[in-house]
Amino acid sequence: MSVSNHDTVFLEPEQEQLLIQLVAANRQLPREQRVDFVYQPAETEARGAISKAEIESIFDQGGSVIFQDRIIQRREEIPENWDCNIILHPGLPSGRIEVLQCDLDALQHQEFIRFRQAHELRFWITPKAMLWFNSNGPKSNQPTTNGTTEEAMTRAPRVLISYAWDSDAHNEWVRQLATKLRGDGVEAILDQWHAVPGDQLPEFMERGVRENDHVLIICTPKYKQRSDGRKGGVGYEGDIMSAEVLATRDHRKFIPVLRDGEWKEAAPSWLIGKYYIDLRGAPYSEHSYGDLVTTLLGRRRQAPPVGPAPTSEKLAPLRVAETQGTAETQGTADSHAERPVAITGIIADQVTTPRNDGTRGSGLYAVPFQLSRRPSAEWARVLVETWDNPPSFSTMHRRGIARVSGDRLILDGTTLDEVEKYHQKTLRLVIARTNEQVAILEQARKSRADLEQERVRQHDEAVREAAKRITFDN
């Protein structure tokens, strides 16, 4: 079976890849064990929060931030989905993937996925997605857009580890790395486990290089010496790997890991110039190890899609701004930031489609409103709180449906008819009250800062006066 010809499907390659991953994850589990996918939107997207880098900067200066009525002061307390949208599912190779909101919206808009409730961040794969996958998804031996196969997507990636037997301590370090990788969803292949007496070692090496998804090359000065000199097993593996690169041009299959020494002293000649993972030190960097694992699992962050070029009308004010002086530009920016936030209209082409499947709330959808400027995270927080407890509202008012994303206010769980009849008046009151509350908070902060500045000034003046009075003349 296939999706009907009149069901036009428009998916970008990245969106097709996401759909393939979701369907493969669903099929990975026995039918009776299949569960919903859980979606965790990025805090910076859902709440208009500051970025993770900005929070870490606050921590570096000894500060803290408040999140969900609790104070967080350490990097490890920042939620993992702070800067990125995450989908969780036990059928995914690592249990999770990072996604762009636009890709998930595309799958929902074309009814490949369906959320359970308007406000519940859980979704399931529709029969339409299964039909599309059967017709358009990769076959068992057909590579996908990132070079992997459907089989590779539904199993742990296989990785051969190539290293020199430098010492017992080094061999133990390699074994522990392989053990850790296997615990993190990577099927590490190691001669200490997989080569037994009686095996043909050349055949083991050849098959390992040819049949595994990646080869980790543990680089040390001794490994370089043996590889460049074509000595022993390391030299033989070097011949196999370099021949594989020449034949397939698949440079990314071979990942160097620097374990000891400087790069030029530890890397075989054919690896010089490659991006390597630095795992020197005891303990080694967890950030570098994370870089390795996300690469092996195919979960490296992808670049966002390129949008349309701005029109001449949008470029015109930018060109004018470039010709103005710094002081004037700064003044304009300051006055812009001080202007109250307002709704300029509904973003018609981003209004979502209702499911209308007969379930409760299936006739509701999301309506986005364009704001006059991107508000602060504080403004977004106050807006949501004010919407949930507005100064005046109708019997059709729904709490919990308002959120701010960038320069958009979204009512997720309503209709345009409700907006026109009921929510329009409430929105005006909520926006006005939010601007008032934020202005009061800003004024209070300014007053505290002025008082602190005056206290410091008085203290400095008292110190200078005391220094003048206190002398040590005989």
Peptide bond into 354 cis (omega under 30): no
So what's the pLDDT on residue 406?
A: 85
Residue 63 forms part of a structural domain: no
66: which strand partners?
71
Measured from the Cβ of residue 346, the count of other Cβ atoms closer than 10 Å reads 15
Pairing relationship of beta strands 37-40 and 120-125 according to DSSP bridges: antiparallel
Q: Does position 140 have pLDDT exceeding 80, yes or no?
A: no
- Are 237 and 366 part of one and the same domain? no
Residue 19 contacts residue 150 (beta carbons within 8 Å): no
Residue 125 forms part of a structural domain: yes
Domain boundary among 105, 135, 153: 153
pLDDT band at 132; cut points 50, 70, 90: confident
Q: Does position 333 have pLDDT exceeding 50, yes or no?
A: no
If one compares 298 and 53, the residue with the highest pLDDT of the two is: 298
Domain containing 349 equals 341-457
- Are 221 and 235 part of one and the same domain? yes
- Are 290 and 190 part of one and the same domain? yes
Residue 366 contacts residue 411 (beta carbons within 8 Å): yes
pLDDT band at 5; cut points 50, 70, 90: very low
Query: Which 3-state string (H, E, C) describes the chain?
Result: CCCCCCCCCCCCHHHHHHHHHHHHHHHHCCHHHCCCEEEECCHHHHCCCCCHHHHHHHHHCCCCEEECCEEECCHHHCCCCCCCEEEECCCCCCCEEEECHHHHHHHHHCCCEEEEECCEEEEEECHHHHHHHHHHCCCCCCECCCCCEHHHHCCCCEEEEECCCCCHHHHHHHHHHHHHHHHCCCEEECHHHHCCCCCCHHHHHHHHHHHCCEEEEEECHHHHHHHHCCCHHHHHHHHHHHHHHHHHCCHHHEEEEECCCCHHHHCCHHHCCCCCEECCCCCCCHHHHHHHHHHHCCCCCCCCCCCCCCCHHHHHHHHHHHHCCHHHHHHHHHHHHHCCCCEEEECHHHCCCCCCCCCCCCCCEEEEEEECCCCCHHHHHHHHHHHHCCCCCCCCCCCCCEEEECCEEEEEEECHHHHHHHHHHHHHHHHHHHHHHHHHHHHHHHHHHHHHHHHHHHHHHHHHHHHHHCCCCC
Measured from the Cβ of residue 385, the count of other Cβ atoms closer than 10 Å reads 15
Cβ contacts of 24 within 8 Å, gap of 6 or more: 91, 150, 153, 154
Q: Does position 151 have pLDDT exceeding 50, yes or no?
A: no
- Are 168 and 286 part of one and the same domain? yes
Residue 67 forms part of a structural domain: no
pLDDT band at 17; cut points 50, 70, 90: confident
pLDDT band at 298; cut points 50, 70, 90: confident
If one compares 7 and 227, the residue with the highest pLDDT of the two is: 227
- Are 18 and 148 part of one and the same domain? yes
Average pLDDT over residues 224-233: 84
Rg (CA), the chain: 29
So what's the pLDDT on residue 434?
A: 92
- Are 264 and 276 part of one and the same domain? yes
- Are 21 and 139 part of one and the same domain? yes
Q: Does position 330 have pLDDT exceeding 60, yes or no?
A: no
Residue 97 forms part of a structural domain: yes
Nearest to 16 by CA among 96, 102, 103, 126: 103
Residue 421 forms part of a structural domain: yes
Residue 401 forms part of a structural domain: yes
Residue 165 forms part of a structural domain: yes
User: Alpha-carbon distance 150 to 138, whole Å?
Assistant: 6
- Are 149 and 261 part of one and the same domain? no
Q: How many domains does the chain have?
A: 4
Query: Could you give the angle at which helices 424-469 and 377-388 cross, rounded to 10 degrees?
Result: 130
Tokens of 43: 């805090």
- Are 266 and 224 part of one and the same domain? yes
- Are 414 and 289 part of one and the same domain? no
From 80-94, 270-284, 448-462, the region with the lowest mean pLDDT = 80-94
pLDDT band at 252; cut points 50, 70, 90: confident
From 120-129, 177-186, 190-199, 274-283, the region with the lowest mean pLDDT = 190-199
- Are 141 and 36 part of one and the same domain? yes
If one compares 223 and 306, the residue with the highest pLDDT of the two is: 223
- Are 149 and 214 part of one and the same domain? no
Quickly tell me which residue has 């350490």 as its tokens.
Answer: 74
User: Alpha-carbon distance 108 to 188, whole Å?
Assistant: 36
pLDDT band at 117; cut points 50, 70, 90: low
Domain with residue 272: its CATH number is 3.40.50.10140
AA letter at 244: E
55-65 pLDDT, tens per residue?
A: 767 767 777 66
Q: Does position 176 have pLDDT exceeding 90, yes or no?
A: yes
405-451 pLDDT, tens per residue?
A: 888 999 988 899 889 888 898 999 999 999 988 888 888 888 888 88
Residue 17 forms part of a structural domain: yes
Average pLDDT over residues 36-54: 69
